[in-house]
Amino acid sequence: MATRKQVTAAKGNVKKAQAGAKQKRSIASMSAKTRSALGKQGAAVAQRKRTGGSSPKTRQELYDIAKRKNLPGRSKMSRDELARALGYK
C-alpha cells in the first residue's frame, strides 16, 4: 500500500504531465503564418484526391509503390524525389 506522501507525489506528477500535454498542442502553438501554410497544403492534397486520377498524389502512396519496387533510400526521400525516382515527373 502506498503512503500518503507517495500518493500526493503521484497526483502532482499526473497534474504536471497533463499541464505539459496541454501546452504542447503542436498546431496551436505554431505561428499563424505556419498554420495557414499547412492549411493550404492540406487543402491542395484534398483537392488532388477529390479530382482523382490514375497517378499517385501523396508521399505515402509514392512511398508504398517505392517499397514494393524495393527502391533504396526511399525512407529519406521527399515526395518530389520519390516521384522522380519512380518516373512520375
Write the pLDDT tens digit of every residue in 51-71: 766 666 788 889 999 999 999
Cβ pair 85, 77 in contact under 8 A: yes
Is the per-residue pLDDT at 82 higher than 80?
A: yes
Q: Which residues form the domain of 87?
A: 55-89
Number of folded domains in the chain? Answer: 1
Write the pLDDT tens digit of every residue in 10-37: 888 888 888 777 776 677 777 888 888 8
In a domain, 72, yes or no: yes
Pick from 26, 44, 45, 47: nearest CA to 35: 26
**pLDDT for position 55:** 64
In a domain, 86, yes or no: yes
